[in-house]
Amino acid sequence: MNLQSFMPEIVLGATAIAIILLDLIVKRKGILAGVGVAGLLISGIFTVAMWGALQPGEASLIFNNMLAVDSFALFFKLLFAGIAILVILASVDYAGKMLPNSQGEYYALVLLSALGMMLMASTTELISIYVSLELASLSLCALVCFLKNPKSSEAALKYILLSGVVSAVMLFGMALVFGVTGKTQLGEIAGVIRSMSLSTPVASPALAVGMVLLIAGFGFKIAAVPFHMWVPDVYEGAPTPVTAFLSVASKAAGFAVILRVFSSIFGVELLSSSWGMVFAVLAALSMTLGNVIALPQTNIKRMLGYSSIAQAGYLMVGLAAIGISPAAGGSGQAGILFFLASYAVANLAAFTAIIAITNKTGSDDIIDFAGMFKRAPALSLALTFSLISLIGMPPAAGFIAKFYVFSAGVRAGLLWLVVIAVLNSVISAYYYLRVVKVMWFAEPASEERVPSSIALRFGLLIASIGVLALGIAPGVILKVTEAATSILAFLP
Amino acid sequence: MTGSSIWLIFLLPIFSFLIITFFIRPFVKPTSRIAGYVTIAAIGTALFLSLRTLGTVMAAPGHELVIPEITWLTVGDLKINVGLMVDSLTAVMLVVVTTVSLMVQIYSLGYMQHEVPDAKPGDRGYHRYYAWMSLFTASMLGVILSNSLLLIFVFWELVGVCSYLLIGFWFHRPSAANAAKKAFIVTRLGDFGFLVAILVLYVNTGTFNIPELQEMAIAGTLAGTTLTWAAIGIFSGAVGKSAQFPLHVWLPDAMEGPTPVSALIHAATMVAAGVFLVARTFPLFAGSVTAVTVVAVIGAFTAIFAATMGLVMHDIKRVVAYSTISQLGYMMLALGAAGLALQHEGRLTVEIAKAATAIGIFHLFNHAFFKALLFLGAGSVNHATGTFDMRQMGGLRKAMPWTFYTFVIGGLSLAGIWPLSGFWSKDEILAVAWDTQKLLFTLVMITVLMTAFYIFRVIFLTFGGEYRGSHGAHSNGHLHESSPVMVGPMVVLAILAIVSGFWNVTGGFNAFMGHGETQSFISGLFGIFAHPLPWIASFVAIAGIFLAYAIYGAKWISAESIGKTFKPLYTLFYRKYFLDELYENIIVRLVLLKGIFAGLEKIDTGVVDGTVNGLANSAYDSGNTMRRTQTGQLQLYGLAIGLGVVAIVLVLFLAG
């Protein structure tokens, strides 16, 4: 067994168990967060070391060809480790105040969910995709209901029921694909499908339906319209750090799976152009619906929920480009990875600032952010900057991300979609700026300063630096994403 | 003159922004003027370097400096370079921006001392103000200096962000915050076209580099519909920033900002950016008849359209604001008409195309000085009277002689009276309009009459007659001239408003812009009157002034009776053609918010039980979690997923 190739996951699992055990012993629960961060750091170091040892374009399979150790998987492992660290840093204040008696489980579940997502990014086999997806989802579901108040419980119930429905849909899709090809390993499936030499996308109806069902299953994870309806309720009801985690990590994991599955098994041009078109339409729907409904929202978490639907739409422009024009797809794939990274830092910075502020005010309503600039200048500045990134304005990371993905879209001949996307960015400026306007230009309800812990401020600083660095010097990360996606090249 | 000193022009205001933000604002007491001095020193030095650059460019072969590029990022096939583009256009714009900005910064020292309505004592916001003013100036300099469309876009957006912050500077006024947002959103509508154009150009050519794009457009490798759409997309960005019809609505509202900010926005930075962009990418426009026609028509229409609204406003700043829109229309018209004239040119080169922008840019150059002067004058008047409403003014001539005389110089220049600067550039625009399209010429001529009329209406209402206001705002009922720190910049600008036009008296400016290949019809200070056109234009302008005198100066004709006679027209102008109402109430509120958006939200959050917020409350009250999931919403969500799958499958099978 190649256990050293599995070290990031082993470390995470072990850390999660250690946290649960430690929870029984230690009195100061802050230590648990420290242990979690340490575990994630070690896991991240292992990942980086493995990246360093990897030859360009090399991909080895372990565990009976079920898991891939390649640059693509490693990129996502590092991304998830980073996201989880920032989420834990942002959780310290919140968990201390809102969940004083269950911090051990909380941090352990965050780690387990991250573990599930890491597996999602590296699996190359249908059944293990399903299993890792469930591991991630179930941990998330437990996290969503952590507040144990009606809103939180209701959100969790909605999430688990819908997630169950979607799992069934996805399993059915996998069953159809298996039925047609007789294989579960992605590479083998791809081989069979290529040898089938289909004449039309629906020449094999079972395969076509299976593909659509998989789109629905993964579309749920990334919050694509019309599989998005859980998003606003769950985002609003979940504990805010969990919402932050859900919004960036779950989406990134979904895209990781989509990229791997669709560019391998459905990589033949006939199929890829039709799923490309499906994603193009879903992208247009998600952007438009997400942005337009975000406009009238008064609760900031709900607003960011709809915004995350819209962001999924922008990301899917990249997917559509890959499907429709594999030649133009190279930059689309790297663009999606870059977009995910920049969305992660921007959204996490935004949520971290929101956590600090709402911890003080006790309200998620945008109106209660009035005059925050006077009460918490650093938090307001960070939140403003992250929202600017979400709008997609220079010099923040979001601009380069959108630009990269959209130019892949234009190159694939999807000018109409890009026009819709840019128009949507204009709409989105309106609701993001409303928050900025309230924070900077409205009178504060009180003069009291907003306190925050060192851990939270540190996390916020890192995320904000990330937003700025990815915007000003995107070259380094873009190179990494190019390397990460080089192994996804379409099979001939 | 090396590349690094040109980089410095851009970096100096950036430094002053950083110093103020990180050192002065946290550590120096808010009443201190030090932030102002730092900004003035930075921009003053930038002006000095800009003048040196202008000299170097004049001496350089081909009026162009070659400065090595820096690679910003290279990934795979994507390579983005950062570089400077310094040609005659850049040099002229550098001088305009730094001069006007410096004058405005000095003036602000005096203006911002008093002008802080309803703020807490001690909080004048000096530091905040100067930090943003520095960044604003730096962003505009970035737009001017960049050699790549992508980088221009980056600075272009920064200009937008700064204007948002500065227009909303007095954020405790809701009207200011709203105006800031309106300016930002409306200009972004235009930016959307600009960004699409950048993408289209990049995908078709693989470059953002402006000189390369210009070459391709002229050589014909970039042509046809791609070029037309790209040019129109760029123009839509310019329409937003330069407040051309139909995106002009933000500019009059932007008057909510401090007056020096208005002066900077209107004269040198934000609105000039649009005209500059069209001039910068002019070879792209020259390749498309459609694009230049659109530019000319929108420009001419905006010129007369905005002038009509300027006729009737009571707010002195708004009149000047509409005059800005109108004058920007002139510039666009000049560019468009020059582009149309190029279509008859046999062999088009990048140089010839660039030279054709001389007329429009010359007007931008002159306009910057006299418009900044008019705004600073309006601010000075406001300083004494505490209002911008001209009905509360009058008779200020005696109390404020400096303001009066400089304002009249600005007004004469705007009206285009010989030999002030406005005369020279306006007549050239008239000439090029006459050459291309007689209808456009007629529109411009009518605008000349209106311009002279409305600016002298302002002068007679403000400075003539008796004082109608109740009190002076800052001086216990005693009207007084503004402090020397405010008057000084106005005098400098007044001198510039007189002399800046002389640059082209013998065609010097045109030669500078176009390597001497184009000849101006202007030939000497007096020689110009050998043509009939300047006679006609001068006569029309003087008629406008006389009409203003007859109504508001001598009061031979009663303004009220004219207002009554032309009531429908008056109302139409005064209510700004009801466009604000159309945009805000009908399109945004009724159609978008109440109609489409609300409808979509209803559908999305569940038709069964109404809005989710109501639901959340009722569920929260009862504490019954299961009940809420049984309301049908959950089933609805599941149904949506199912229907989505079915729809995709159906489409796939029908299409496939």
Calculate mean pLDDT across residues A331-356. 92
State the Cα–Cα distance between residues B30 and B19, nearest whole angstrom.
15
Residue B534 binned pLDDT confidence (cut-offs 50, 70, 90): confident
Residue B546 binned pLDDT confidence (cut-offs 50, 70, 90): confident
Tokens 């989406």 sit on residue: A251
Per DSSP, the three-state class of A127 is: helix
Subunit contact B78:A478, Cβ cutoff 8 A = yes
**Is the model's pLDDT at B78 over the cut of 80?**
no
Strand partners, A62: A67
> A144 with A156: CB under 8 angstroms?
yes
Q: Label residue A432 exposed, middle or buried (CB < 10 Å: 0-12, 13-18, 19+).
A: buried
| Mean of pLDDT over chain B | 79
The partner residue sitting opposite B157, judged by closest CB among A213, A393, A423, is: A393
| ipTM surpasses cut 0.85 | no
Neighbours of B646 (CB within 10 A): 11
State the Cα–Cα distance between residues B596 and B588, nearest whole angstrom.
10
Q: Give the per-residue pLDDT at A89.
A: 93
> How far does CA A185 lie from the centroid of its chain?
25
Most confident of A461-465, B46-50, B306-310, B494-498: A461-465
Q: Residue B587 has which token pair?
A: 């399109």
Host domain of residue A407: 2-490
Q: Residue B100 has which token pair?
A: 């006007």
Q: Give the per-residue pLDDT at B523.
A: 60
Q: Residue B563 has which token pair?
A: 């207002």
Side chain identity at B134, as an amino acid letter? S
Q: Tens digits of per-residue pLDDT, B465-524? A: 777 766 544 444 567 777 888 888 888 888 888 888 878 777 777 777 775 545 555 566
Q: Label residue B521 exposed, middle or buried (CB < 10 Å: 0-12, 13-18, 19+).
A: middle
Of the listed ranges A432-446, B82-96, B234-248, B603-617, the one predicted with least confidence: B603-617
Q: Residue B468 has which token pair?
A: 């109608």
Mutate to test the interface with A, among B127, B132, B649 (most CBs of A within 10 A): B649
Residue B351 binned pLDDT confidence (cut-offs 50, 70, 90): confident
Calculate mean pLDDT across residues A108-122. 93
Q: Label residue B290 exposed, middle or buried (CB < 10 Å: 0-12, 13-18, 19+).
A: middle
Largest CA distance in chain B: 91
State the Cα–Cα distance between residues A230 and B641, nearest whole angstrom.
11
Residues 6+ apart with CB under 8 A from B643: A226
State the Cα–Cα distance between residues A326 and A275, nearest whole angstrom.
12
State the Cα–Cα distance between residues A221 and A136, nearest whole angstrom.
10
Q: With contacts defined as CB-CB under 8 Å, which chain B residues touch A296?
A: 593, 597-598, 601
CA distances from B622 to A299, B611, B619 (A): 21, 17, 5
Per DSSP, the three-state class of B78 is: strand
Neighbours of B634 (CB within 10 A): 21
The partner residue sitting opposite B625, judged by closest CB among A157, A334, A473, is: A157
Neighbours of B608 (CB within 10 A): 11
Provide the domain count of chain A. 1
Q: Which of A276, A274, A264, A367 lies closest to A323 in space, CA to CA?
A: A276
Residues 6+ apart with CB under 8 A from B373: B406, B407, B409, B410, B490, B493, B494, B496, B497
The helix (run of H) or strand (run of E) holding residue A67 is strand A67-70
Answer whether B121 touches A (CB < 8 Å).
no
State the Cα–Cα distance between residues A94 and A458, nearest whole angstrom.
15
Subunit contact A232:B605, Cβ cutoff 8 A = yes
Neighbours of B577 (CB within 10 A): 15
Calculate mean pLDDT across residues B365-373. 89
State the Cα–Cα distance between residues B244 and B303, nearest whole angstrom.
9
The partner residue sitting opposite A296, judged by closest CB among B601, B644, B655, is: B601
Subunit contact A212:B634, Cβ cutoff 8 A = no
> How far does CA B560 lie from the centroid of its chain?
33
> A321 with A411: CB under 8 angstroms?
yes
Q: Residue B68 has which token pair?
A: 């090595």
Subunit contact A410:B203, Cβ cutoff 8 A = yes
Bridge pairing between strands B70-75 and B78-82: antiparallel
State the Cα–Cα distance between residues A234 and A243, nearest whole angstrom.
8
Q: Residue B438 has which token pair?
A: 């007689």
